[in-house]
Structure 1
Amino acid sequence: MNFDELTRFLEKRVQQPMPGDLAHQRMKPKLPNGAPVKMKHATPPRKGGVLILLYEDQGIVRFPLIQRPNYVGIHSGQMALPGGRYEESDQDQFYTALRESQEEIGVDRGRVEIIGSLSEFFVAASNYMVLPVIGKIDHIPDFVPEPREVDDIVTPPITHLIDPNRLKEKEIVVRSDFKMICPYYDLEGRTVWGATAMMLSELVAILQEFPR
């Protein structure tokens, strides 16, 4: 994919109606018996923002994903887009995505040009309403992981998202004994599943419209 052509396409496409939940559902985990995974929360969801940062590396369009450290928590060890919780001092969720990405992977938020966003997405596991922000940067970033929040950073080509050979499914066990059947993207040898895969699935649906 040509970087300039792709980013121009995305700038126009995100202004139109989005695939939304129809795309999200393609990557939604389910129980082993085929039933949907349901979660209830007593409080309203908190807001957050994540960043899909596009850049060109020797003619290849890439984007960063992070691996969370292992900890006692819902998203322990998982692959994710850089981002995090909205703070009251943030102007909006776009700012949240940029601020958190700078903190987590060392990207200068002042160098990132916002393209737009995908549909806001409810992360049921952690009770967050997350805005996936699409941005671009005009150089290869020198990523620096924040060690308390990021174990590793991988930078797959954007074309791997639309490679059918990288769309797979397997059983994943969380919280020691809770089993789910999860569609996932096999990217740089990592399993990208759950909320991150569901958000990326909407990007995939849009990328499939891109003329090649």
Structure 2
Amino acid sequence: MERKGVFAKMDIEPFDNFINSLRESLHKGLPGETVQRTMAPAARLKLMEHTIPDETTRMSAVLIPIFPHEGRAHIVFIKRQTYDGIHSAQVAFPGGKKEESDDNMLETALREAEEEVGIRPESVTILGTLTPLFIPISNYLVLPVIGILKERPTFYPNLQEVEYIIEMPICQLLQPNSRSVITQNLGGLPLSTPHFKAGEDMIWGATAMILAEFIELIQPSSCY
């Protein structure tokens, strides 16, 4: 029993160090839109030049859940169900639009994460937020919220919205081969698309832009 306790302590300390390092980076300031744009599809950059948020823009928030698992800091994405919509079948963070019942955007992120994947709001400690990202094609302004969990949660995906859940070590996303560019055919037009690799899945669009800023905050020395 003593031996097991030692290993449990060794497992949690690197996670705490990782979170402390991330907290320090957040306090220094956000990388911002410049870094987000490095993962923007070419067509998206053109839209951003001519479209800005206005009074019709809808507010939304996503949760970036971080937790220790198998000795490493992990992050969670969802694969959306296929439906008749512009974000069909995409990989995303849990999240959605602000409801009138939400007091603020942090509450939106927590509520949506519970509805989509079963993460209990009381189990999440908010570490901070990233740069809000405007999505011209759907007219949403998205606030990314970083949430810390002390242990891996039991996930309960809402199968009406979520096809499956993707868990992966965060530091894996720092590897050079985690990023690539492909040409997709969307709406009959070729689209140059930077993306992150998540196993067999591709993280692109707004989620990749949010992820780019998040990864910029991670110190390689904190990876384990």
With the length of structure 2 as denominator, give the TM-score of the two structures: 0.86
> 1:38 aligned to 2:19?
no
Alignment of 1:116 with 2:128, yes or no, is yes
Q: Aligned pair 1:185/2:199, yes or no?
A: no
1:207 to 174, 195, 218: 218
Q: Show CA shifts across 1:48-96 (max 9, x none).
A: 1101100001211111100111111010110000000011111111110
Native 8 Å contact 1:54 1:135 kept in 2: yes
Question: Gapped runs of 5+ residues in structure 1?
Answer: none
The whole-number CA distance in structure 2 between the counterparts of 1:211 and 1:53 is: 18
Question: RMSD in angstroms over aligned alpha carbons?
Answer: 1.9
Large movers: runs of 4+ above 3 Å: 39-43, 208-212
Quick one: which amino acid aligns to residue 200 of structure 1?
L
Find the aligned partners of 1:179 and 1:126 in 2 and give their Cα distance: 20
Kindly provide the CA deviation profile for residues 143-172 of structure 1, in whole angstroms up to 9, marking residues without a partner as x: 111011100101011012111111000012
Give the match for residue 161 of structure 2: 149
Number of the residue aligned with 1:160: 172
Contact persistence 1:162–1:208 (CA under 8 A): no
The Cα of 1:24 is off from its aligned counterpart by 0.5
Rg larger in structure: 2
Please, which runs of 5 or more residues in structure 2 have no aligned partner? 1-12
Matched, 1:197 2:208: yes
Q: Corresponding residue for 1:170?
A: 182
Q: Which amino acid aligns with 1:182?
A: T
Find the counterpart in structure 2 of residue 47 from structure 1.
Answer: 59
Q: Please tell me whether the aligned partners of residues 29 and 37 of structure 1 are also in contact (alpha carbons under 8 angstroms).
A: no
Alpha-carbon distance change, 37 to 152 in structure 1, aligned in 2, over 3 angstroms: farther
SS at the partner of 2:154?
coil
Candidates 70, 77, 86, aligned match of 2:82: 70
Alignment check: 8 A CA contact 2:39 2:209 kept: yes
Letter aligned with residue 126 of structure 1 = S
Structure 1 residues 211 and 156, CA gap change in structure 2 (3 angstroms):
closer
Superposition map of 1:3-14 within 5 A: 3-14=15-26
Contact kept, 8 Å, 1:65 with 1:81, in 2: the verdict is yes
Q: Does 1:130 align with 2:139?
A: no
What amino acid is aligned across from residue 185 of structure 1 in structure 2? Answer: F
CA distance in 2, matches of 1:183, 1:63: 20
Greater share of residues in helix: 2
The two structures have a TM-score, normalised by structure 1, of 0.91
User: How big is the shift at 1:111?
Assistant: 0.6
Q: Aligned pairs, how many? A: 208
